Structure 1
Amino acid sequence: MESRFEISSASVAEIRRSIEAKVISYDEALSTAFDRMGQLDKEGPKLNALLSLVEVDEVHLQQERSKPLSGIAFLAKDNIDTQDLPTTAGSLAFEGLPASSDAPIITLMRSLGATLIGKTNLSEWSNFRGIYSASGWSGVGGQTRNPHRLDRSPGGSSSGSAVAVAAGYVPIALGTETDGSIICPASVNGVVGFKPTHGILPTEGVVPISRTQDTLGIFARSVLDVEIVYSALIDKLGKGALFGEGSASTNLSARPQPTPFRIGVPRAGFFGYSPKSDLVFEDVLIALGEAGILVIDDIATRAGSDLSFNIGHELLVLRWEMKQELGKYLSARGVEGRSSLEEIVDFNRDNSSREMSFFGQEHFLAACEMDDSYRSDYEVARSTNLGHTRGEIRKTLINGDVDFLLVPSMGPAWLIDHICGDVIAGSGYSLAAIAGLPSINIPIGDVFGLPVGMTLFGDAYSDLHLLRVASRIQEILSLKLLPGFSTSSGL
């Protein structure tokens, strides 16, 4: 390590080793994060990745010096409650307003010694307000920008968290996912994004959409960093037993793990939405095979499974559960005139020149209509979609005799467009999201300088094994995708 510690490229493990070797102090490890953000703000482009920051002096006062993550600065998506910084979900309805208490995940991170230094911009209301939204835009923060190409989308909805890690602000950041909100921005920003098994990390204090799909997750530049943080959280929660219990017939993580790893690649429905990304993915499959990982192609056909889902069912589930869960959250938040979904709809209308200049609130309006007459439809949609996706993924893994499934995450970042909204041709992350299963984006290369990634996913509670396999894959690829902060494609 150089005498001057460089946070923009350092891993969690490197930071910890440098502190223990007294190459840097705890204070220096944190100060460099602020230095990096300040340098880019003055000399570089405006990324709009951050919504709020703590004061440097307050950070040093809060320092824990003998914990597993001491000296590690982190950022959190601004839909995660904090009492010392505003929690807005990107909406002007909560601009400048902290929550009454920290979300449990913030308390956990702090108990491990990690230091929260700020909150990140996001797709407002986690991209579930209006249909024609542009990822990474919020009323509070404006448009987050992709550090690899400033005119390209940062993805969403955990836009600022992924951008902050890619730009070297911090080694780790927290995000959330309902369907793609971790994997998507991780892929287009060239970083690792991990979504654990649903329900492992506590989501209390997170502005909700869906109780059956909302999941907290972690962004980092390496899978190893994710594993360090996630393992520490699991140990703190006392949930380590979840990853070793169960019989082989019900919990794949309990099976004896074969060597070499066996990975299945489903084809139908996962390819063709970005031919250039597909070519990068095919090269990766060759590299994995040459490194000794067994890649079983067209695994769904071999296993006789159907890896599809009903988007209409998912939409109904999300709208129904948003009406229930967001209503409870807003009521508990207790801000006058903002204590129900209907009041937020009214606020947006009253402030439409700022809140709805680019897109509307169709999802909110549809959610407001979800009364008891929709209950039976909701229950059918939820049981059918969840049961089908979970069952067919497990069938694929067992009948195909593989540990995990591997697919392209999505294509490269699209142009930011506030007139027409996002243009996404397809993605590979929805199955795991709907089924509540663990998934991770691994960067695999670029298309004309724009990062692309692939998604590895598997059965419930296979999280730690998933991370070990993903770490091995990242080691094989030995890839670094550094942002160029360029203003146009140059093509």
Structure 2
Amino acid sequence: MLRHLLLASSVLLASAPAAAQPSAEANTRDAIRRIEALNPQTRAVIAVEPTALDEARALDRNRRPRGPLFGMPILVKDNIETKGGLPTTAGSLALKDNVTGRDAPLVARLRAAGAVIVGKTNLSEWANFRDGDSISGWSAVGGQTRNAHALDRNACGSSTGSGVAVAAGMAPAAIGTETNGSVVCPAAVSGIVGFKPTVGLVSRTYVIPISHSQDTPGPMTRTVREAAMVLTAMAGTDPLDSATKEADTRKSNYAAALSDNSLRGKRIGVMRFATGFGTDTALEQALQTLRAEGAILVDIDKFEGRGQIGAESYKVLLSEFKADLNAYLATTPPTVRTRTLADLIAFNNANAATEMPLFGQDIFEGSEKTKGLDDPEYKKARETSFRMAGPEGIDKLLKTHNVVALVGPTMPAAWLIDSVHGDQISGGGAGSLAAVAGYPHLTVPMGEVRGLPVGLSFMGPKWSDALILSLGYDFEQASQKRIEPRLMRSIEEREDVVKAFTPALPQAGSSK
């Protein structure tokens, strides 16, 4: 039976002097205490790992040599396998018995660096790829994740639990996964740092898939330095994931490469074609900071074809989901009875009261109808979407405007959780370009809208991960825009909003 507990941890800078570092056990106990205190309100964590304290004690007994993440509690999205006692469910009851005994290679690398895996975070079920009317952050296993800044607000899919847990201080770092926005969106609306690396820098083996073309895990942290540290530990070649064949030669010590002078003299493209949705004031303040740090800003007013990229990419995801998920399910233990996507559709229909109380599975059904990876329509869609987002998208924008990176608002501020209409997103940035192309994308807090955080995106070409992180680090150090969550029931409880909602003159029925 899954234990729906909490996870949390004090921020541990693993680069601090050894004498100043608390013990791994103390860090882990603190994380668990904060989960227990905060998770009932946020539902950010599906379960605490029962072996976490034992793992921490073992680290303390063997303090030499220490890894760069020594004693850091880390949460892992529940579509990433860990070898402890917890199942990997993707939020679905169909996988409640999916205890594989395997560490995903990225998890093994984190452990080797000294991190403690404290538990699994909630997510949008099946990484938000089940139905077009879904509510981001809802899963049958974990319930509805709630934004730590205002509990009636959405935390954005699909790495919702990872974003909320880090924002609330349950852990200094969590691992999310992204196919199209699912690291950067929850990071932005939770007011933290999220980094989607170049596809192929981090292994996807034993991560429940959507798309081998676009999927990648990524770190979600409170600071860019912590993201760089975690990425350095995670990155590397995996023989079981052919996309990572260049990772060992491409990776570097991303934390060591950070500089608070990296913006000086850099030409940065401002994606004016992907702005608005209530973020303009915060964006202009962020651009002032970039200029003050010495960046040369170049406005980019137009980019054609974003709608076509999205339509072609969706065809790719439908085809790859069926093929990739069926391949994954074939590796799960015999206790998992759903061995194909068709089995999952049947399971959901048979268990509709628990699996589909709010929305259906039209994406599942559309994916099941696809014709496989040899289908010419699929191949054309992949070629078209990648070309338009990569070589004719980000690459062309960089070359045409002679800039090294692109910036723009990541997402609008968090929208209300809506069980009637599903997600009601009022716009979005250009992050899908980086997602479809497989290029790096970093979001850093850039300010707030009525107390709700919004993020600034940095994007660049393939394998520019170190540059993008360093540019974002310089901005972060200069701006210091991260805000602490207040766990308010509603943003309408803010004093300025309450005052604005109160009439200035006596109303009908008033005794005054």
Q: TM-score, normalised by structure 2?
A: 0.86
The residue type paired with residue 280 of structure 1 is: A
1 CA distance for matches of 2:21 and 2:337? 52
The answer for the alignment partner of 1:388 in structure 2 is 388
1 CA distance for matches of 2:318 and 2:122? 23
Q: Is the 8 A contact 2:320 2:373 kept in 1?
A: no
Greater shift in the superposed pair: 369-378 or 326-335: 369-378
Question: Tell me, which stretches of 5 or more residues in structure 1 are unaligned?
Answer: 1-6, 245-256
Secondary structure of 1:40's partner? helix
The answer for the alignment partner of 2:266 in structure 1 is 261
The residue type paired with residue 295 of structure 1 is: L
Greater shift in the superposed pair: 156-165 or 419-428: 419-428
Q: Is the 8 A contact 2:136 2:158 kept in 1?
A: yes
The answer for the alignment partner of 2:44 in structure 1 is 49
The answer for the alignment partner of 2:485 in structure 1 is 483
The answer for the alignment partner of 2:3 in structure 1 is none
Instruction: Kindly provide the CA deviation profile for residues 379-411 of structure 1, in whole angstroms up to 9, marking residues without a partner as x.
Output: 111101101111121111122111100011110
Task: Report the alpha carbon displacement of residue 334 of structure 1 after superposing the two structures with TM.
Answer: 4.2
Aligned ranges for residues 404-419 of structure 1 at < 5 Å? 404-419=405-420
Greater shift in the superposed pair: 403-412 or 419-428: 419-428
Task: Report the alpha carbon displacement of residue 282 of structure 1 after superposing the two structures with TM.
Answer: 1.3
Instruction: Kindly provide the CA deviation profile for residues 89-108 of structure 1, in whole angstroms up to 9, marking residues without a partner as x.
Output: 00011124312411111111
The residue type paired with residue 68 of structure 2 is: P
Aligned ranges for residues 71-470 of structure 1 at < 5 Å? 71-84=71-84, 85-234=86-235, 239=247, 241-242=249-250, 259-268=264-273, 270-272=274-276, 274=277, 276-298=278-300, 309-335=308-334, 336-371=336-371, 375-391=375-391, 392-428=393-429, 429-470=431-472
Instruction: Kindly provide the CA deviation profile for residues 305-350 of structure 1, in whole angstroms up to 9, marking residues without a partner as x.
Output: 8666432211110000001100101111144531000001000000
The residue type paired with residue 179 of structure 2 is: T
Task: Report the alpha carbon displacement of residue 373 of structure 1 after superposing the two structures with TM.
Answer: 10
Task: Report the alpha carbon displacement of residue 372 of structure 1 after superposing the two structures with TM.
Answer: 5.1
Instruction: Kindly provide the CA deviation profile for residues 281-310 of structure 1, in whole angstroms up to 9, marking residues without a partner as x.
Output: 112112211221211112657xxx866643
The residue type paired with residue 156 of structure 2 is: G
2 CA distance for matches of 1:367 and 1:152? 30
Instruction: Summarize the Cα distance change of 1:54–1:395 in structure 2 as closer, same or farther, 3 Å threshold.
Output: same
Task: Report the alpha carbon displacement of residue 128 of structure 1 after superposing the two structures with TM.
Answer: 0.2
Task: Report the alpha carbon displacement of residue 259 of structure 1 after superposing the two structures with TM.
Answer: 4.4
Instruction: Kindly provide the CA deviation profile for residues 191-222 of structure 1, in whole angstroms up to 9, marking residues without a partner as x.
Output: 00000000110001010010100011000000
* Equivalences, count: 461
Secondary structure of 1:382's partner? helix
1 CA distance for matches of 2:35 and 2:443? 25
Secondary structure of 2:11's partner? coil
Secondary structure of 2:130's partner? coil
Instruction: Kindly provide the CA deviation profile for residues 157-215 of structure 1, in whole angstroms up to 9, marking residues without a partner as x.
Output: 00101111000011111010000000110010000000000011000101001010001
2 CA distance for matches of 1:440 and 1:147? 21
Task: Report the alpha carbon displacement of residue 68 of structure 1 after superposing the two structures with TM.
Answer: 1.5
Secondary structure of 1:88's partner? coil
The answer for the alignment partner of 1:249 in structure 2 is none
The answer for the alignment partner of 1:34 in structure 2 is 32
1 CA distance for matches of 2:19 and 2:372? 61
Task: Report the alpha carbon displacement of residue 447 of structure 1 after superposing the two structures with TM.
Answer: 0.6
Instruction: Summarize the Cα distance change of 1:155–1:476 in structure 2 as closer, same or farther, 3 Å threshold.
Output: same
The answer for the alignment partner of 1:247 in structure 2 is none
Q: Is the 8 A contact 1:59 1:117 kept in 2?
A: no
Q: Is the 8 A contact 1:11 1:221 kept in 2?
A: no
Greater shift in the superposed pair: 124-133 or 93-102: 93-102
Question: Tell me, which stretches of 5 or more residues in structure 2 are unaligned?
Answer: 1-7, 239-245, 253-261, 498-512
The residue type paired with residue 275 of structure 2 is: F
* One of 43, 54, 58 as aligned partner of 2:54: 58
Instruction: Kindly provide the CA deviation profile for residues 27-46 of structure 1, in whole angstroms up to 9, marking residues without a partner as x.
Output: 222222122223335xxx52
Instruction: Kindly provide the CA deviation profile for residues 432-485 of structure 1, in whole angstroms up to 9, marking residues without a partner as x.
Output: 000000001111111111111121100000001111111001011122310000
- Percent identity between the aligned chains? 38
Q: Is the 8 A contact 1:300 1:307 kept in 2?
A: no
Secondary structure of 1:12's partner? coil
The residue type paired with residue 58 of structure 1 is: D
Greater shift in the superposed pair: 228-237 or 110-119: 228-237
Secondary structure of 1:446's partner? strand
The residue type paired with residue 249 of structure 2 is: A
Q: Is the 8 A contact 2:211 2:321 kept in 1?
A: yes
Q: TM-score, normalised by structure 1?
A: 0.89
Q: Is the 8 A contact 2:192 2:482 kept in 1?
A: no
Q: Is the 8 A contact 1:264 1:299 kept in 2?
A: no
CA RMSD of aligned residues (A): 2.2
The residue type paired with residue 380 of structure 1 is: K
2 CA distance for matches of 1:298 and 1:388? 17
Greater shift in the superposed pair: 461-470 or 54-63: 54-63
Instruction: Summarize the Cα distance change of 1:360–1:235 in structure 2 as closer, same or farther, 3 Å threshold.
Output: closer
